[in-house]
């Protein structure tokens, strides 16, 4: 299953969520979650969270991972340790957008989310 896009590059103009991603053999693993912001306009903010589910229906009361609020283009990575959540089989990304100031009040972001196991990174660095 890993590595895989949780959200392929897309344009975001309103709050939303991704399709669920089946972790397969990566259940309970330590993951690197990469958020890429490829397009943004001034005076707006993006909040991205990662949720987990055992059955793809119940996503719990709080996210497994929350990126700090983002205002700029860039590539941001966070670790997600699923060892304390061995029942999690599916991941889902959710985002909130906010825009203020002059001009159009519709937010506009280009984003992607990529998930990979940390051991692939460690093995690549030691090779």
Per-residue tens of pLDDT for the chain, all 127 residues: 567 999 999 999 999 999 999 999 889 999 999 999 999 988 999 999 999 999 999 999 999 999 999 999 999 999 999 999 999 999 999 999 999 988 788 899 999 999 999 865 454 544 5
Determine the pLDDT at residue 79: 96
Domain that includes residue 104, residue range: 4-117
Number of domains composing the chain: 1
Helix (H) or strand (E) holding 56: none
- pLDDT value at residue 98: 94
Domain contains 127:
no
Asked whether residue 84 is assigned to any structural domain, the reply reads: yes
Domain presence at residue 126: no
**What pLDDT is recorded for position 123?**
45
CB atoms near residue 95 (< 10 Å) = 22
Q: Which pTM was predicted?
A: 0.89
Q: pLDDT value at position 50?
A: 98
In a domain, 123, yes or no: no
Give the CA diameter of the chain. Answer: 52
Q: What is the structure's pLDDT at 1?
A: 54
Cα 60 from Cα 81, distance rounded (Å):
17
Query: What does the pLDDT read at residue 105?
Result: 85
Give bridge partners of residue 96 from the DSSP assignment. 47
Give the CATH number, domain containing residue 61.
Answer: 2.60.120.1110
């Amino acid at each position: 299953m890993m590595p895989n896009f949780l959200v392929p590059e897309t344009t975001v103009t309103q709050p939303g969520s991704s399709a669920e991603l089946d972790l397969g053999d990566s259940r309970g693993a330590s993951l690197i979650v990469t958020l890429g912001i490829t397009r943004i306009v001034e005076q707006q903010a993006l909040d991205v969270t990662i949720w987990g589910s055992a059955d793809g229906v119940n996503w719990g009361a709080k996210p497994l991972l929350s990126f700090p609020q983002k205002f700029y283009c860039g590539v941001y990575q966070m670790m997600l340790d699923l060892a304390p959540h061995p029942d999690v089989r599916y991941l889902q990304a959710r985002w909130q957008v906010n825009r203020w100031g002059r001009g159009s009040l519709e937010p506009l972001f280009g984003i992607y989310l990529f998930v990979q196991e940390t051991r692939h990174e460690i093995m690549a660095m030691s090779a």
